Amino acid sequence: MTDTPRILLIGSDGQVGWELRRTLAPVGQVIAASLSGQDGPSVDLTEPASVRRLFHETAPDAVVNAAAYTAVDKAESQPELAQAINGDALALIAELCTAPRIPVIHYSTDFVFSGITDHPYREDDPAEPRSVYGRTKLAGEQALLESGAPALVFRTAWVYGVRGSNFLLTMLNLFRERAELRIVDDQIGTPTWSRMLAEVTAQIAYRVFHGGLDIEGVKGLYHLTGAGATSWFGFAEAIREAAGSQCRLLPIPTSEYPAPAQRPAYSVLDTGHFRRTFGLALPDWRQSLALCLADLREQRPLMTSAAIAPK
């Protein structure tokens, strides 16, 4: 392995990609690619020629794909666009990485499951997505895994962080605007901090390039989330308590919050395979939330209202 690998990070401007730009820096030279091309080369995942040009011009030693079409409800009316980004682009990335044996790390989702279960999903449980988003993400991970490329696919869930559009930031904003909120209480999953995902990814990448980890021996599918589980209502309560907000929260069933895309009712992922393979502990989601909120207070000092002020 080269001493300074060239790591092509696709989707560098997303909430996970933004964190990866920092955590991957000690591993090698990070080439930050995004649709905007603001901090590096631009790439349009809906255009195969754009993806091929990116690989040709950057000549990466590794690829980390943090890009995805994540507008879950819009995907129901834009299935072709979701498939192009979440499915077809992954098939092309797999093609470009298979023969030269370029390591790939990619993120998938709990939406590949139906949610009709009462136990945490394992990697070998049947994937039965109920939404366009879930079906296109499943198509992408299957294309990558079936290609034989040296790939790690990390299924994750309920991702939040200090940037982008996510449940945490939405709640903090609404706490300042509303006296009462109705939150779904019958969907169960695991909140997962984008920083944790990025740090774990960087540790594994470091082992591949500098620690003697043979990616050919560990390639495959893994579940990667925080530890524990809660409902969206429970997540909102934890955010409210940590933020010191007085907003009243009311639990409601999914039936009272209709949306175009069907969500899994239960999508807790069993992370045992990941933990046994890589020997990494995954923090409880409450611990990660506390660290994320502390980080948010430092990064956004002007937001000193009750929304993020400590109790």
Using an 8 Å Cβ cutoff, are 74 and 56 in contact?
Answer: no
Catalytic residue among 133, 160, 222, 266: 133
CA distances from 19 to 12, 43, 91, 231, 305 (A): 8, 19, 25, 25, 25
CA distances from 102 to 16, 95, 113, 133, 202 (A): 21, 10, 29, 27, 16
Helix, coil or strand: residue 51: helix
Backbone angles phi, psi at 274, to 5 degrees: -65, -50
Question: If we measure between CA atoms, which residue out of 91, 84, 77 comes closest to residue 136?
Answer: 84
Active-site annotation holds for 160: no
Per-position b or e across 82-106, b if 16+ CB within 10 A of its CB:
bbbbbbbbbbebbbbbbeeebbbbb
Residues annotated catalytic, as ranges? 133
